Structure 1
Amino acid sequence: MPTRVLVAYGTTNGSTAQIAETVAGVLVEEGMTAQARPARSVTSVGPYDAVIVGGALYAGRWHRDARRFLLRHHRELAERPLWLFSSGPLDASASEWDIPPVPDVRHAMDRLTVTEHVTFGGCLEAGAKGPIARMLLRGGKGGDFRDVPAIEKWAAQIAAGLPPG
């Protein structure tokens, strides 16, 4: 049976969901069974051999759904490999250097055994929800800063470290 991987995510405007779907797609290409699901919809991580959790960054905080997911499932997560990713810088910084985890993520990493955390550039486009997003867009801070090849490379590295099943 192929290794089963959950890619759970917290997103408001869909950019982090697209990253999660890209990660899951690479894992499937590498012979895993992978699902990208909204973190708030996951009732158990029991069916999965490994878990990846992603959260959008808003005002220096990890998305609430991602934070709550880690709290809700911390016992089960302690029993399987776990990776974390953040998405959010609205510039090229995530592609230029490693961005340290925000305090919410650092706190989770201190409580759980996390194999790795990485931050990817974010995406904020017209029609985004939320007052902060609208303010950023009015100030000219929007755009798509996701580095899809970097996301795919990271997912392939995860796949290489997991047994194929």
Structure 2
Amino acid sequence: MAEILVVYATKTGSTREIAEAIAARIRSAAHEVTVLDAADVGSVEPYKAVVLGSALYAARWRPEAVKFLKRNAPALARKPVWLFHSGPLGSDLSAQKAPSKVRELASRIGADQPTTFGGRLTPETAVGFFAKKMAQGSMAGDYRDWDAIELWANNIAEQLVAAR
């Protein structure tokens, strides 16, 4: 069994790709890592630490990510947990406040508030009428900052090594 669980909730795959990049960086620090969709996680008990990321749409986390936090809150409160969300588009990628329920759950489990990463919206990946219309306009593009994602994941890896 892997020691670190990286969990994601995504609509178009962008957040999954961020989760996979985070997992790869943590693996490079000699940790065993499992990457799973939030809907596919049975229990977090076997893991020493958890990273959870959700797509952020209209200031909301994906429902499966919120359900994951609620369902696993008691166990997560006993582990190191890092949270992120992705979704802001455009040139102003300032930190986005998590939904109130996520902020409450993060506080309950002792995790910092989620780190914000830019999202991706392209005509090829857009799902739904509104997203498809946005993907045809000036908001379309890939706003993920892979250097920032790697730096954040590197910080997690360093904290995990220090905790050994």
- Cα deviation for residue 138 of structure 1 reads 3.4
Unmatched runs of 5 consecutive residues or more in structure 1: none
**1:81: which partner in 2?**
80
Q: For the Cα contact (< 8 Å) 2:59–2:98, is it kept in 1? A: no
Is residue 38 from structure 1 mapped to residue 37 from structure 2 by the alignment?
yes
Unmatched runs of 5 consecutive residues or more in structure 2: none
**1:124: which partner in 2?**
121
**1:161: which partner in 2?**
159
Q: For the Cα contact (< 8 Å) 2:38–2:68, is it kept in 1? A: yes
- Cα deviation for residue 116 of structure 1 reads 5.1
Overall identity of the aligned pairs, in %:
40
Q: For the Cα contact (< 8 Å) 1:125–1:142, is it kept in 2? A: yes
Q: For the Cα contact (< 8 Å) 2:29–2:161, is it kept in 1? A: no
Which residue identity lines up with residue 17 of structure 1 in the other structure?
A: R
**1:24: which partner in 2?**
23
1:61-110 deviations in Å (ceiling 9; x for gaps): 0111111110111111111001100000012333xx44333334322223
| Aligned pairs (5 A) from 1:128-143 | 128-143=126-141
- Misfit runs of 4+, over 3 Å: 97-100
SS in 2 for 1:154: helix
**Cα separation, 1, equivalents of 2:137 and 2:99:** 23
Q: TM-score, normalised by structure 2?
A: 0.90
Q: For the Cα contact (< 8 Å) 1:81–1:115, is it kept in 2? A: no
**Cα separation, 1, equivalents of 2:95 and 2:59:** 16
1:104-140 deviations in Å (ceiling 9; x for gaps): 4322223221045200000011132123311321343
